Amino acid sequence: MAELIRLNKRIAALGICSRRKADDYIREGIVFVNNEVVTDLGTKVDPDVDIIRVEGVHVPSKEKNQTLVYITLNKPIDYISSTTSEQGASVLDLITAENYYKPKYRDDTKKLTGVRLYPVGRLDKDSEGIVLLTNDGELTNQLTHPRYEHEKEYDVSVDKGLTPDVRKILSKGMRIEGEQYGGMKIKKEFNKGRRVILTLVLREGKNRHIRKMLGRLGYNISFLRRTRIEKLTLGTLPIGSWKFVKKTDIL
């Protein structure tokens, strides 16, 4: 018998989702082990024996030489970081041969056949920039869990410069509607016409984190672009295009 492992870790290893998302599924009662629903977050399974189902989808008991895939996408505005199109066009809709960054090598896109990709973290519908997609659940957990504090960098256009007091608040963080939003590093600030461009670095990322903090402080954002996730940078990748990257390019 193989060593028993936590159920959420097993689900992540199979590329279904991150450990945190797996915990959500377990709480919701949509995870089955050997045809029995499991709601205990501490459940352990045998990866060689136990059969796992999530939302009625059969998950094989072994990976069977699963190929891990890593993709970087330059997300346009109006696309959502979701695996479904229920609330609008999904970033997955852009992962086509036509949008592949290297037209001469479009045959490479065949390696995506049968692969279920998941966006790592969120980038809201009104924002653009780098999105990482992968079937590596362990990497997803590592990049999205707050305790790892991986950096994400953004360029933001606002309507006025930062005052000393605003800089202090942005750096230390603030409470919004009873929830604590962590501070950010202000890397750059410069004028561009009538707008001010900020380069901000987050080590955690709540939903619309930058927009909520700057909005609460009286700033109007005209665009927000994510340019980096840890080591992985947007570079010259055209908007709406994607390419394969290596795990070593990310961490």
- In the chain, the domains with their CATH numbers are 5-59 (3.10.290.10), 70-145+232-249 (3.30.70.580), 151-229 (3.30.70.1560)
For residues 156 and 22, the model is more confident at: 156
Residue 124 is a catalytic residue: yes
CB–CB of 128/74 below 8 Å? yes
Out of 23, 46, 107, 124, pick the active-site residue: 124
- 198: pLDDT strictly greater than 90: yes
CB–CB of 91/75 below 8 Å? yes
Alpha carbon distance 1, 5 (integer Å): 12
CB–CB of 106/97 below 8 Å? yes
Can you give the pTM of this predicted structure? 0.79
Under 8 Å CB-to-CB from 172, ≥6 apart: which residues?
183
Q: What is the pLDDT of residues 62-106, one digit of tens each?
A: 555 578 999 999 999 999 988 777 778 999 999 999 999 998 999
Q: What is the percent of the chain where pLDDT is above 90? A: 65
Q: What is the pLDDT of residues 111-170, one digit of tens each?
A: 998 888 888 878 999 999 999 999 887 788 788 777 778 999 999 999 999 999 999 999
